[in-house]
Amino acid sequence: MSESGSKKQRGKWQGTRSKKRAVDRGPWTVDFQVELMAITPNAEDIIERACRTCYLSFHRYDPPSSTEELIKKVIQKGHHSVLEHATATFRIKGGSRVFTHEMVRHRLMSPSQESQRYVEYGKTKEFEFVIPPTIQNTKFENKFKEIAGQAFDLYQDMVKAEIPKEDSRYILPNATTSEIVISANFRELRHIFEIRCVERAHWEIREICLEMLKIMKKQAPIVFWDFHIDEKNRVAFRKDV
């Protein structure tokens, strides 16, 4: 399935020493990953046939031209319920818990997230954290890394002292990365993209949702035809149709 990502800074910590990754933007830079795990086969055809059931208009069923005409028409008229017959599932790696806390607010989306109750950082996986672009290359960056590392050191000390992981995790920062799998129907994905890909959205969820939108425009170009991606400004918006 499709996989894409964007580069941002992320820290890794073991004990009191940081591990650096020398990638093209320098140390601490890695890629978040957006992977399409599954999607409804022949999604747009299913949407058309479901829609035609409402009117019993199968005599007009003549794909692919009829598919594009009908789906665009129902979207323009706001009849979006038929889009719920198709779904997509994504795995997202490298996003912070700031990102996941925003993403799981979408109640019509189904999430399965890495659990800090059961995942032990430094054992099950490395402790990793995201450094926002506004902090990178400032006088605060090193302090940010230092404090995040100290929090992880205390976390490890508490776990070794047999304090439950579910309680030790309280010290970990929001910047901690968290893997998540999400499933949503096409109607909900359109809603997510409409509010999370615009300029006023938080930069991290906007970047990740832009990658999701790119995938969906390839997989279901008719359903998402009216979304325009502005690569220069890293935003997306619906075109007037």
Long-range (24+ apart) CB contacts under 8 A made by 35-38 are 35/1, 35/2, 35/3, 35/90, 35/91, 35/92, 35/93, 36/1, 36/2, 36/3, 36/88, 36/89, 36/90, 36/215, 36/219, 37/1, 37/89, 37/90, 37/91, 37/181, 38/1, 38/88, 38/89
CB count within 10 Å of CB 73 equals: 11
Report in angstroms the alpha-carbon separations of 215 from 43, 60, 63, 139: 14, 29, 22, 37
- Average pLDDT over every residue of 192-197: 97
Is it the case that residue 94 has pLDDT exceeding 60? yes
Mean pLDDT is lowest, of 12-26, 102-116, 196-210, 212-226, for 12-26
Percentage above 90 pLDDT, the chain: 85
C-alpha closest to that of 186 among 233, 132, 223:
223
Going along the chain from its start, the domains and CATH numbers come out as: 1-40+86-225 (3.30.1360.170)
Q: What is the structure's pLDDT at 239? A: 86
Is residue 127's pLDDT more than 60?
yes
Per-residue pLDDT, 12: 52
Q: Is position 196 annotated as part of the catalytic site?
A: yes
Q: Nearest to residue 9, comparing CAs of 105, 124, 148?
A: 148
Q: Judge whether residue 116 has pLDDT over 50.
A: yes
Residues 30-44 have pLDDT tens digits of 468 999 999 999 999
Q: Which of 187, 190, 196, 206 is catalytic?
A: 196
Q: Is the pLDDT of residue 85 over 90?
A: yes
Give me the mean pLDDT over the 107-128 stretch.
Answer: 96
